[in-house]
Amino acid sequence: MQYAKPPLSVRDQISLLKTRGLIITDEEVAEHFFYNNNYYRFRGYTYPFQNNTDPSQLFIGSVNFETVLDLYNFDSEFRSLILYTIEKIEIGLRTQIIYRYAVGHKNSHWHFDPIHFTDKTKHSAAILKLCSDSKNSNEEFIKHYYKTYTNPTEPPCWSSLETVTFGYLSNLFSNLNSKDPCKKEIVTYFGLPSAHILENWMHCLNNIRNICAHHSRLWNRTIAPRIIMPQNTHYLFVKNKKVYTNKIYAVLCCIQYMLNIIDSKNDFKIQLIKLLKKYPNLKLKAMGFPENWEEEEFWKITLSEAIHFSKSK
C-alpha cells in the first residue's frame, strides 16, 4: 500500500484536531506548542480521549487541548523522575557487580575470564566490544591506564565496567554463572529469592531507561519484558502482587524496593505521590495502579520520611 498522506502545516494540524472534536480556544498557544513539539508525539496522548475504532477518530465528549497537554506534561515530568531514579539503581548495581566479583575472586580482571560465564560465545563477543569501546573512550581514567600500563593490556573491572551501558551490564549479569557465590551475594544483598528475578528487573529497567532517554511515551505504555513480582522478599514489598506486570505500576514497585536498599533516605515515593496529585485527572488504571494502592504499607509516607523531605527542601 502506497503512503500518500501529505505533510501538514501547523495550522492544518490544529484544524484537523478541531474537526475531530478537540476544543482549542487559544490557537496562538496551540501554534506555539506545535512549532516546538512534534504533532505525532502529541497525538500519542490524544488516543485515550478518542474513538480509535472509527477512521475519523473523533474525540469522545468535550475534550480540551489543555486536558491532553496536561497528560503530555505529566508524562514528561514522570519520565524525568524515573530516569533520575534508574540512574541511582544502575550505579548501585554496577558497584555491587564490580565489587563482589573483584574482591570475591581477588582479580582485577575477572570479567575477562570465561570461567565465570555461562555462554562463552556471548562472553567473547561482549569482551571484543568492551575492548573496542575502551580503546575509543574519552574517559581520563581509561586513557591514563593505556598510557601508564602495558600488562594486562586492558583496564581493570572498576575502570572498564564503569563506562559500559546499562544494557551491557544487564547482559553481562545475566550471563554470569548463577552458581557463583559472588552472584548469590548480589542477589542476597537485594533481598531477592533468585538471580532470575534480578536479571529480569535489570532487563526491564534498562528498557524503561531507554524509553525515558528517548523521550517516548511512558505513562500507559505496555512494558516488555513483563516484570516479575516476587512472592518472597527479604525487605518490605507490596502485598498485592495481582497487578498487571506489563504496566508501569509494577515497575514502580520494583524501583521503590531497590531504592530503599541503595538509598534508605530516598524521596522517590514522595516525589511520585506529589506528581500524581499535581495531575488529579490522570487515569491511574491505565498505568496499572490497583484500587487502594496507596493503603499499602509499602507506599505510605512515614513521619520520619516527611520530616526528612521537608528539611531537604
Do residue 132 and residue 224 come from a single domain? yes
Kindly state the cell numbers that stand for 97: 557487580
Domain that holds residue 56: 10-40+47-61
Sign of CA dihedral 115, 116, 120, 126: negative
Kindly state the cell numbers that stand for 304: 520520619
Angle formed at CA 34 by CA 221 and CA 214, multiple of 5 degrees: 40
Do residue 148 and residue 218 come from a single domain? yes
- In a domain, residue 66? The reply is no
Do residue 119 and residue 226 come from a single domain? yes
- In a domain, residue 206? The reply is yes
- In a domain, residue 108? The reply is yes
Tell me which residue of 229, 228, 272 sits closest to 84, measured CA to CA: 272
Q: How many domains does the chain have?
A: 2
Block residue for cell numbers 490522570: 282
Do residue 82 and residue 175 come from a single domain? yes
Q: Average pLDDT of the chain? A: 95
pLDDT digits (tens, 9 = 90+) for 17-41: 999 999 999 999 999 999 999 999 9
- In a domain, residue 107? The reply is yes
Q: Answer yes or no: is pLDDT of 64 > 60.
A: yes
Q: Answer yes or no: is pLDDT of 312 > 80.
A: no
- In a domain, residue 5? The reply is no
pLDDT digits (tens, 9 = 90+) for 154-177: 999 999 999 999 999 999 999 999
Alpha-carbon gap, residue 209 to 94, rounded angstroms: 15
- In a domain, residue 68? The reply is no
Q: Answer yes or no: is pLDDT of 232 > 90.
A: yes
Do residue 145 and residue 36 come from a single domain? no
Do residue 151 and residue 290 come from a single domain? yes
pLDDT digits (tens, 9 = 90+) for 196-208: 999 999 999 999 9
Q: Which pLDDT score is estimated for 302?
A: 77
- In a domain, residue 78? The reply is yes
Alpha-carbon gap, residue 144 to 148, rounded angstroms: 6
**Cα 165 to the center of its chain, rounded Å:** 13
Do residue 119 and residue 197 come from a single domain? yes
Alpha-carbon gap, residue 307 to 248, rounded angstroms: 28
Do residue 170 and residue 35 come from a single domain? no
- In a domain, residue 184? The reply is yes
Do residue 83 and residue 175 come from a single domain? yes
Q: Tell me the percentage of the chain whose pLDDT exceeds 90.
A: 91
Do residue 220 and residue 141 come from a single domain? yes
